């Protein structure tokens, strides 16, 4: 697969160097010189990774990252910055960045980080959306077609785990680990909780979102997945 990245960097010389090197490594690269332009591109297009500087005009990198996560955009984000203090790194992680690379850096390391991020979905998104199902991770609220879902704590964990991986399949073992860690019950409680979740999430609506994948697990998939 050809990786597509978005670079948001106001240093034109550095941006040109990075983009040229990435193209040599078979990584496509769109470019924005300010935070607002970068946000617009990230909202309109599909990328495997976003390379985001912190010190940007119009919107800084932290604001861009936070805006993307608030909108449920799950593209992995790599912060590129000269700020190397723990406080600065924590500020980046607080708004939903996935990785951090301090300037100056080696291009080989940048490529390795991009390739690692491109093969996974970010777990930092604060709003998860599939068709008319909206899961707000911060407020711990889930709605479908505008109706609030009254979930149990276990149902919430299962739903978030499925949504973070949607439309991919989540194995029974992964769900059991997410809910019970290393203290899984002897009885098939997962089956009970999946039934309850389906009763709330799918039964009142024409189209079910939860799919059982025989011998593999479960998935939440929208109409076009």
The CATH number of the domain holding residue 157 is 1.10.10.10
Question: Taking 80 as the threshold, does the pLDDT of residue 224 lie above it?
Answer: no
pLDDT at 138: 74
Give CA–CA dist 21/152, Å, rounded.
Answer: 49
Mean pLDDT computed over 25-48: 93
Task: State the total domains in the chain.
Answer: 2
Identify the DSSP state of 149.
P
Task: Indicate whether 114 and 132 sit together in one domain.
Answer: no
pLDDT at 133: 94
Task: Indicate whether 99 and 168 sit together in one domain.
Answer: no
Choice between 182 and 40, residue whose per-residue pLDDT is larger:
40
Pick the last residue of a domain from 59, 88, 118: 118
Task: Indicate whether 55 and 149 sit together in one domain.
Answer: no
The range of the structural domain enclosing residue 193 comes to 127-220
pLDDT tens column, 154-171: 899 899 889 888 888 999
Q: Is 37 exposed, middle or buried (0-12, 13-18, 19+ CB in 10 A)?
A: middle
pLDDT at 109: 93
Question: Taking 90 as the threshold, does the pLDDT of residue 144 lie above it?
Answer: yes
For residue 70, what pLDDT band results from cuts at 50, 70 and 90?
confident
Give CA–CA dist 194/173, Å, rounded.
Answer: 14
Mean pLDDT computed over 203-211: 93
Pick the last residue of a domain from 92, 118, 144: 118
SS3 content of the chain, % helix, strand, coil (to 5): 40, 20, 40
DSSP lists the bridge partners of residue 130 as 133
* 217-220, strands of its sheet edge to edge: 170-171, 217-220, 210-213
Q: Are strands 133-136 and 141-144 parallel, antiparallel or unpaired?
A: antiparallel
Task: Indicate whether 61 and 104 sit together in one domain.
Answer: yes
pLDDT tens column, 90-139: 787 788 888 888 888 999 999 999 988 887 655 556 778 899 999 987 78
Q: Supply φ then ψ for residue 190, to 5 degrees.
A: -60, -40
């Amino acid at each position: 697969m050809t990786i597509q990245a978005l670079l948001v960097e106001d240093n034109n010389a550095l941006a040109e160097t990075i983009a040229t090197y990435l193209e040599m490594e078979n990584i496509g690269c769109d470019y924005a010189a300010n935070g607002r332009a970068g946000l617009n591109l990230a909202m309109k297009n599909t990328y495997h990774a976003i390379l985001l500087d912190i010190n940007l005009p119009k919107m800084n990198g932290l604001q861009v990252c936070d805006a993307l996560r608030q909108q449920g955009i799950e593209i992995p984000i790599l912060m590129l910055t000269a700020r190397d203090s723990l406080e600065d790194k924590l500020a980046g992680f607080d708004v939903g960045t996935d990785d951090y690379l301090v300037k100056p850096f080696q291009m080989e390391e940048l490529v390795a980080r991009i390739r690692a991020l491109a093969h996974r979905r970010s777990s930092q998104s604060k709003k998860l959306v599939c068709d008319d199902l909206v899961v707000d991770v911060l407020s711990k609220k889930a709605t479908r077609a505008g109706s609030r879902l009254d979930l149990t704590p276990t149902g919430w964990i299962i739903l978030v785990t499925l949504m973070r991986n949607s439309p991919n399949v989540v194995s029974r073992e992964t769900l059991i680990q997410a809910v019970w860690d290393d203290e899984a019950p002897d009885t098939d409680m997962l089956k009970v909780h999946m039934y309850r979740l389906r009763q709330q999430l799918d039964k009142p609506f024409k189209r079910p979102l939860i799919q059982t994948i025989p011998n593999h697990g479960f998935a939440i998939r929208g109409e076009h997945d």
